[in-house]
Structure 1
Amino acid sequence: MDWTGWIESRGEPAVLAFCGLLVGLGFGFFAQRSRFCLRAAVIEFWHGKFGDKLAVWLLAFATAVVGVQLLVVSGGLDVSTARQLSAQGSLSGALLGGLIFGVGMVMTRGCASRLLVLSANGNLRALLSGLIFAVVAQASLGGVLAPLREAMASWWVVDGGPARSVLALVGAGPWDGLVFAAVWLITALFFAHHSGWGFWKWAGGIGTGLMVALAWAGTYQVMANSFEPVQIQGLTFSGPSAEWLMRVLSEPGEPWTFGLGLMPGVFLGSLVGALVGGDWKLEGFGGGYTMPRYIIGAVLMGFGSMLAGGCAVGAGMTGGAIFAVTAWLTLLGMWMGGGLADRVLDRPHQRAKVPSGAAVAQQAP
């Protein structure tokens, strides 16, 4: 592919936006067909049930890590200049942001990417939550919540470079990362095999992970073949959500970016997936008590994602695939926060729904 000629004729912004659109179409379609969702995987894990939701997430994550590391060892990708590795990071922000985001995603019943996917499927709860998420993300980035975010992020910082790379910290290299990723993939395949999947679970899980690698590869090629400075970036939803919000509210004329192409791509890809699978259905709030929960959850996710440096896909899968320390801390926080929210908010409610006779039967030896 003649990247240089394409960039010269169209310009870097247009090429980046088109790459984002293509990646978004693939991610939205595969995520919709496979029911990819970190929240569902977290809940299954903390309930001690290793079912298909956890297996889908593991397969997508493992595929992303393997795909990225294959690109690195083959010379097709250099992530040393990615902000997750090269810039100063916040360990406190990663862990606390992950915890806050994890609580929020359980309250809204989906992480940032899942909300966008569900919105395209006709879910109005997800649409409202996604809009609130975008507003709070922007407020946390450069608005009224920015001072609080910056204060929390300053508690424990780490310099960019080797100090932000898991592989560098343990004295490992790209090939070691690939071996680790392969072991992770084998584990994911084991769980997937025992879940009794159909075609779309397999294709969707693998395809979702490959889109993470494709995002890195596409923006890297633009950076490598451009005469203008271009930042390599991966697949994420917190920054692009805030970016789209400001795009709608501001005067036209700002250049297009990868993230601006990504969001409509995910929406369209998920819409196609829903139509193919017959899943499109207009849904609202089932009861009045649920609306405050969704609003609070979206607020927590918006702030938590900006504090952590990304959402479940951006800080988790995208950063995790290049072995960024902050990304793995963020993932840990999300799993812990999600498990805590489920135990405190959902399990008591679920137990209250169990009929008294069933409860007595469950307690009987």
Structure 2
Amino acid sequence: MDWTAWIETRGEPVVLALMGLLVGLGFGFFAQRSRFCLRAAVIEFWHGRFGEKLSVWLLAFATAVVAVQALIAGGLLDTGTARQLSARGSLSGAIVGGLIFGVGMVMTRGCASRLLVLSANGNLRALLSGLVFAVTAQASLAGILAPWREAIAGWWVVEGGPARSLLALAGVGPVDGIAFGGLWLVTAAFFAWHTRADAWRWVGGIGTGFMVALAWLGTYQVMAHSFEPVQIQGLTFSGPSAEWLMRVLAEPGQPWTFGLGLMPGVFLGSLAGALVGRDWKLEGFSGAYTMPRYIVGAILMGFGSMLAGGCAVGAGMTGGAIFATTAWLTLAGMWVGGGLADRVLDRPAPGARNAGAGDMPASAP
């Protein structure tokens, strides 16, 4: 592909938006078909059931790590200027934000990406939660919640550079990153085989991980071949959600971005996956999972994601694939926060049948 000619013909904003649309279509389709969901994986783990949901998440995460590190080792990608590594970061924000996000995703029964995927499947609960998430993310970025975010983020900061890279801190390189990701990929494959996961779980999980690598590669190539300053960026949903909210509320004419194409791409990709699998179904609020719980959970996720510097995909997978220190702390916080929330909020009553969130239909958020 002649990136320079394409950029000169279309312009950087259009190319970035098209890349976002392409990545979004793939991510939405694969995530929908595989039922990719961090919340479901977290609950299975803490319940001691290393089953299908955990296998899918591990397949996606390990694939992202291996693919991204292979691109770096092959000289096709350089993430040194990515904000997760080059900019000043917050360790306190990563830890606290990850914990808060983990609690929120259990309350809403899905992380930010899962809510968008389910919205395209006709789930009105997920649609409402996604809207509240976007409003809270924007309020945390530059609104009424911003002072709180800045205060917590200032407790413990780390300068950009080697201190923000786990590989640099360990004195190793991308080949070691590939080996680490490969170990997890073998583990994921074992779990998937042991649980007799169907073909869509395998293909969807691996495909979801490849979309993380494609996002890094696409934006890097635009940056490398552009005469204008372009920031390399990965796959995330907190920033683009807030961006789309402001585009709806503000005057038209804003420049096109990667996030502008990403969000509708994920929606359309998930819709296609739902139609292929005949999963489209209009759903509202019912049962014990009431509207207040979803709203509070979405607020926690919106604030937590902006405090941590990313959502379950943005920090957990995208940042984790480049071994950003803050991203791994965020991911750990999400696993701990999600496990605690499930234990406290969804713990079955004594003597009742174990019907925790992990036993509920995977199609619900």
Using the size of structure 2 for normalisation, the TM-score is 0.96
- Between Structure 1 and Structure 2, whose CA radius of gyration is higher? 1
Unpaired runs of 5+ in structure 2?
A: 356-365
Give how far 1:174 is off. 1.3
2:221 alignment counterpart: 221
Residue 348 of structure 1 aligns to a residue whose secondary structure is: coil
The CA deviation string for residues 191-244 of structure 1, in whole angstroms up to 9 with x for no partner, is 111110111111100000000000000000000000000000000000000000
Equivalent positions of 1:151-300 (< 5 A) are 151-287=151-287, 290-300=290-300
2:90 alignment counterpart: 90
Give how far 1:348 is off. 3.3
RMSD: 1.2
CA distance in 2, matches of 1:58, 1:351: 33
Give how far 1:276 is off. 0.3
> What code does the residue aligned with 1:260 have?
L
Equivalent positions of 1:1-365 (< 5 A) are 1-287=1-287, 290-348=290-348, 352=352
Give how far 1:8 is off. 0.4
Give how far 1:296 is off. 0.3
Question: After alignment, is 125-134 or 197-206 more displaced?
Answer: 197-206
Give how far 1:287 is off. 4.0
Residue 252 of structure 1 aligns to a residue whose secondary structure is: coil
Using the size of structure 1 for normalisation, the TM-score is 0.96
Give how far 1:184 is off. 1.3
CA distance in 1, matches of 2:79, 2:289: 45
CA distance in 2, matches of 1:76, 1:168: 19
Residue 284 of structure 1 aligns to a residue whose secondary structure is: coil
Deviating beyond 3 angstroms after TM superposition, the runs of 4 or more aligned structure 1 residues are: 348-355
Give how far 1:173 is off. 1.1
Give how far 1:133 is off. 0.1
CA distance in 1, matches of 2:349, 2:322: 39
1:361 alignment counterpart: none
**Count, aligned residues:** 355
Give how far 1:352 is off. 4.5
Give how far 1:351 is off. 5.8
Give how far 1:175 is off. 1.2
Give how far 1:349 is off. 5.2
The CA deviation string for residues 250-293 of structure 1, in whole angstroms up to 9 with x for no partner, is 00010010011000000000000000000000000014861110
Unpaired runs of 5+ in structure 1?
A: 356-365
Q: Quick one: structure 1 residues 352 and 296, their matched pair in 2 at CA, closer, same or farther if it must change by over 3 Å?
A: farther
CA distance in 2, matches of 1:110, 1:59: 18
CA distance in 1, matches of 2:180, 2:315: 19
Q: Quick one: structure 1 residues 354 and 26, their matched pair in 2 at CA, closer, same or farther if it must change by over 3 Å?
A: closer
Q: Quick one: structure 1 residues 340 and 220, their matched pair in 2 at CA, closer, same or farther if it must change by over 3 Å?
A: same
> What code does the residue aligned with 2:179 have?
V
Q: Quick one: structure 1 residues 171 and 298, their matched pair in 2 at CA, closer, same or farther if it must change by over 3 Å?
A: same
Residue 347 of structure 1 aligns to a residue whose secondary structure is: coil
CA distance in 2, matches of 1:218, 1:124: 32
Q: Quick one: structure 1 residues 210 and 228, their matched pair in 2 at CA, closer, same or farther if it must change by over 3 Å?
A: same
Residue 347 of structure 2 aligns to a residue whose secondary structure is: helix
Residue 25 of structure 2 aligns to a residue whose secondary structure is: helix
> What code does the residue aligned with 1:154 have?
G
CA distance in 1, matches of 2:352, 2:143: 41
Residue 55 of structure 1 aligns to a residue whose secondary structure is: helix
What's the % identity of the aligned pairs?
A: 81
Residue 254 of structure 1 aligns to a residue whose secondary structure is: coil
Question: After alignment, is 16-25 or 198-207 more displaced?
Answer: 198-207
* Conservation of the 8 A alpha-carbon contact between 2:348 and 2:354: no
Q: Quick one: structure 1 residues 350 and 333, their matched pair in 2 at CA, closer, same or farther if it must change by over 3 Å?
A: farther
1:363 alignment counterpart: none
CA distance in 1, matches of 2:148, 2:17: 32
